[in-house]
């Protein structure tokens, strides 16, 4: 049932989608006419409503992916396909504590908050007040602020928290902030980052290898939409071909640089005397 002030996804006959809030006593004005929210509140999701000009709209419950796609934004957001995968790979569930930076418009924050609530926390860092203001508004509207601590700071200064379960960095040149992430993570904690270019990924991987990280992975997710016609089922003509590279790793209690390396890398390390470093740490 549509509750007062709930987010609602209205879908027009031509497929256009509008994410709105069902405000008691209020109305949505469009060139298709006026829709009174009191005619929508109390109805079940999946029903059809009409404006005063007779324009029909389907009333749907927005999913987390819909909320991200329709979020008011001034920054690039993490796409739902990447956000969903990150919730799995950063192992986020009720009670987990996670740091993310930067907050941006709060798109990823909302997916993380929904994963760790009600007992977990997202500590979200941002250095630009205007971005943080918008993210606060977005999260407040969705009732997610109780699960998020928004912090206004350049992450070069470090994080306040210690022993967190995961750190996610969506900032340029994330490689420069690996020491700060390492200091905040619990041993065994999970690290993730989204980087749009190969150059940034190279720098980040090098920084992780120089730190206390193993299991370093670089991945990319591609979603190819299909035209859902039973008679002419085929892929759509266009797709979003690139959003970003995902870099994932796990923190260890010290440096185990050669852990998981192939035998050639290990042989070369012995040859160049680098394996001794590892002995020291182990
Ligand atoms: C791409 S946006 C993040 C988008 C966000 N993940 C989302 O899904 O909505 C990157 C944000 O990081 C912030 N940022 C960049 N460098 C930073 C730093 N050193 N410390 C804190 N925030 C930073 C930027 O101001 C920007 O808002």
Three-state DSSP at 5 gives coil
pTM of the full structure: 0.93
CA-nearest residue, atom 12 of ligand 1: 102
Using CA atoms, how far apart are residues 260 and 249, in angstroms rounded to an integer?
12
Ligand 1 atom at shortest distance from the alpha carbon of 71: 9
List the domain boundaries for the chain.
7-62, 66-251
pLDDT score of 277: 56
Sole residue written with tokens 């920084």? 207
Which letter does DSSP use for residue 212 in this model? T
How far apart CA 71 and CA 65 sit, in angstroms, is: 10
Q: What is the domain class of 66-251 according to CATH?
A: alpha beta
CATH architecture of 7-62: Roll (3.10)
User: Do 71 and 24 meet the contact criterion of CB atoms below 8 Å apart?
Assistant: no
Choosing from 104, 133, 177 the residue with most ligand 1 atoms within 8 A of its CB, the one to mutate for a pocket test is 104
Q: Distance from the CA of 122 to the center of ligand 1, in angstroms? A: 15
211 to each of 147, 187, 257, how far by Cα in Å? 30, 12, 8
Residue 192 forms beta bridges with which residues? 168, 248
Split the chain (282 residues) into runs of 10 and give each run's mean pLDDT.
95 95 95 94 97 96 97 93 98 98 97 98 98 97 97 98 98 96 98 97 96 96 96 96 96 88 86 66 50
Sign of CA dihedral 126, 129, 132, 136: positive
Ligand 1 neighbour 107 (Cβ under 6 A): yes
- Nearest CA to 192 among 174, 210, 172? 174
pLDDT recorded at residue 279: 47
């Amino acid at each position: 049932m549509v509750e007062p002030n709930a987010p609602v996804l209205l879908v027009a006959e031509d497929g256009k989608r509008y994410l709105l809030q069902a405000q008691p006593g209020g109305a949505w004005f469009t060139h298709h006419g006026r829709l009174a929210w009191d005619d929508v509140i109390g109805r079940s999701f999946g029903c059809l409503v009409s404006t005063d000009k007779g324009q029909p709209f389907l009333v749907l419950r927005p999913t987390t992916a819909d909320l991200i796609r329709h979020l008011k934004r001034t920054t690039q957001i993490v796409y739902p396909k990447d956000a969903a995968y990150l919730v799995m790979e950063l192992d986020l569930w009720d009670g987990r504590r996670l740091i993310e930076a930067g907050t941006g418009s709060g798109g990823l924050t909302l997916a993380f908050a929904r994963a760790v609530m009600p007992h977990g926390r997202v500590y979200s860092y941002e250095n630009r007040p205007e971005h943080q203001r918008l993210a606060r508004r977005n999260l407040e509207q969705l009732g997610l602020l109780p699960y998020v601590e928004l912090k206004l700071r350049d992450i070069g200064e470090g994080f306040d928290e210690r022993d967190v379960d995961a750190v996610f960095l969506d900032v340029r040149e994330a490689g420069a902030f690996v020491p700060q992430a390492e200091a905040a993570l619990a041993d065994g904690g999970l690290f993730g980052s989204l980087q749009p270019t190969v150059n940034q990924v190279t720098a980040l991987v090098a920084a992780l290898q120089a730190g206390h990280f193993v299991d370093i992975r670089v991945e990319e997710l591609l979603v190819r939409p299909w035209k859902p016609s039973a008679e002419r089922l085929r892929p759509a003509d266009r797709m979003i071909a690139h959003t970003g590279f995902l870099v994932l790793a796990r923190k260890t209690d010290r440096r185990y640089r050669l852990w998981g390396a192939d035998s050639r890398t290990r042989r070369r390390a012995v040859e160049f005397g680098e394996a001794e470093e590892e002995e020291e740490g182990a």
